[in-house]
Amino acid sequence: MSKEITITLPDGTQKQAQAGITGIEIAELIGSGLAKAAIAFEANGEQRDLSDSVSEDSNISIFTIDSDEGLEIMRHTIAAQVLARAIKNLYPKAKLAIGPIIEDGFYYDFLSDEPVSIDDLPAIEQEMKKIVGTKAEINKTTHSKKDAVKSFNDLDEPYKVQIIEDSEQLSGFQIYSQGETGFIDLCRGPHLPSLDKAGSFKLTKISGAYWKGDSSNEMLTRIYGTAWKNEKDLKKYLTHLEEAEKRDHRKLARVMDLFHLQEEAPGMVFWHPKGWSMYVALQNYIRRKQTENGYDEINTPLVVDRKLWEASGHWDKYREKMFITEIDEEHANEKRVNALKPMNCPCHVQVYNQGLKSYRDLPIRLAEFGSCHRYEASGTMHGLMRVRGFTQDDGHIFCTEDQIESETAGFISLLSDIYTELGFTTFDIKLCTRPETRVGSDEVWDKAELALESAIKKLKIPYTIETGEGAFYGPKLDFVLTDAIGREWQCGTFQSDFNLPDRLGAEYVGEDGEKHKPVIMHRAILGSFERFIGILIENYSGKMPLWLAPTQLVLMTVTEEVIDYAAELETVFNEINIRVELDSRNEKIGYKIREHSNAKVPLMAVIGKEEKSNESISIRSLSKNDTNTYSIDEAKDFLLKNSDFPS
């Protein structure tokens, strides 16, 4: 007789069962309705198929399609069982590689001797629907390494064979099949018990991808898709995608003439005059806010000797992300190795270290619009959202341990004001704790994490904990804002660092006359200027607030006779620092209006004979879609009042 085991459910309820009980039997033990809806389960933190058994006391969770875990398992099944089989049905000579889940969907990589393009996706999707329509059961068998290799060698699937051979395990290889179809795939699982539990899906795009992400390997075809529990959720997501596509900052940048990127400088932004005016306006706004909050602005070198990066710990932990330069110094016996700074913190410590500091001087708040460079793989770069060269609104607060709480409160207040004034009314806070790769002792990390968590608890602000997501030198608070269409963006950060002051010799003289190490609070609100401008463009769909708009007002002439009057207006508005553009081209006024509307110019004025004779101006608002007529002095007052920084 088999032994009894204890099954503990998420609510703490315990049930007795026989060792060897399967996941589906556990679901039936809980209730018939749950058993009918179940698609997989978790035992002691390990996800398993419903057919798997449990032979020891276990904490159990049953997954349905309504859970986040269940949705991911369904997506994985769509990729590894449905899309993979459709590819083999339509392209029998194709060689299958991998099919993982990604955010909101999945992809599958394969090698095909026949070209597969985006035009083929509808046919592949139709084949997938036929496969799902069979409602076939999905079965799993477990094999030794030798048998698994033989199975996929027999099928001429070299990528599956390589995956198995590269594995250190000798047994336990899972092979999934669909009924009696003959289709099999290697997978860690778990999968749906049958295809009748598959939700609604859509193939979205196709691209190339190197096997194992290595450019020295062959290029595979990658098909992306999304899957949701029902058609309603799928349509909602696709509508969201369409809206995001309309807001794509790369497309809007072309229409608005803001910036471009090119192959000769991958990941580096070429700002055009209009884009740079937006950049400068945002920078000046942040500069004013920081000055009002007690920050001193500094500037530090772009290229720094490796010795400083070694001392700070960045060379060991961050070397692969750094751009390295070597030069032959005069009278030196060896090359000097420098790096373009990937971050600003070690340089800020050098500024702090100039001159003896007292506890009375603290906190010292240093800020820099610091130009940084980090290597990003070419496949990960995306417009302004991920670049290799960027500028941070970086800052470092040198303070005592007793000042952490007040500095945390002050920073969150400043960040909240800025986000609100930039149009983001909500944000979430995540406390990120020590990662596996880090500097400093556990004792120091305990103190740093406790100080940061204690500070935010006293502020009574909701937060979540992200285990292992801290910086390599200290824990941090990450601030995640939500844009106009519900997307989340991690931008701001506040990091508690007890390690860097010790590594770089930062000190202050305490009230006791002894030397002490300050705590360094690393902080940024926007993060990368480039990325944040991309977020702003997409949040506003290009219709920027007046103070931030590249061109604030365009003057459009109807006839040649009014060009001189329009030029006078241009001079008047330039004198009060309004970014004004005169469009005196010999084009129809309707054409001009459409063109500047597409370029998202917030204010437009049509200058005709009536305006000239009355010495007036009629200004149309793009966002409000209304027109008001002003005298020149009234127009100046209106523009000055509405074009200044938010407050």
Catalytic residue positions, numbered: 345, 374, 392, 394, 396, 476, 522
Residue 257, classified by CB atoms within 10 Å of its CB into exposed (0-12), middle (13-18) or buried (19+), is middle
Which residue reads 């010790």 in tokens?
A: 502
Burial state string for 353-392 with b = 16 or more CB within 10 A and e = fewer than 16: eeeebebeebbbbbbbbbbbbbeeeeeeeebbbbbbbbbb
Residue 392's beta-bridge partner residues?
370, 528
Q: What is 494-524 written as a DSSP string?
A: EEEESSHHHHTT--EE-TTSSEEPPEEEEEE
Contacts within 8 Å (CB) and 24+ apart, 234-240? 234/199, 234/200, 234/201, 234/202, 237/104, 238/202, 240/485, 240/486
**Six-digit token string for 573:** 């508005």
Q: Are strands 95-96 and 335-340 parallel, antiparallel or unpaired?
A: unpaired
User: To 10 degrees, the CA torsion angle through 11, 17, 19, 20?
Assistant: -80
Is the N-terminal amide bond of 190 cis, ω within 30° of 0?
Answer: yes
Of the candidates 118, 300, 137, 151, the residue with the CA atom closest to the CA atom of residue 224: 118
Which residue reads 């229409």 in tokens?
A: 255
**Six-digit token string for 173:** 């290889």
Q: Show Cβ contacts of residue 460 under 8 Å, excluding neighbours closer than 6 positions.
A: none
Angle between helices 404-421 and 273-292 (to 10 degrees): 140
CA distance 394 to 532: 13
Of the candidates 330, 322, 336, 39, the residue with the CA atom closest to the CA atom of residue 191: 39
Which residue reads 């986000």 in tokens?
A: 419
Task: Determine the distance from the C-alpha atom of residue 234 to the mean position of all C-alpha atoms in its chain, rounded to a whole number.
Answer: 22
Cβ 116 vs Cβ 221: under 8 Å: yes
Is the N-terminal amide bond of 363 cis, ω within 30° of 0?
Answer: yes
Cβ 322 vs Cβ 309: under 8 Å: yes
Q: Show Cβ contacts of residue 339 under 8 Å, excluding neighbours closer than 6 positions.
A: 303, 304, 306, 309, 315, 322, 323, 324, 325
User: To 10 degrees, the CA torsion angle through 305, 309, 315, 316?
Assistant: 140
CA atoms within 13 A on the CB side of 513: 0
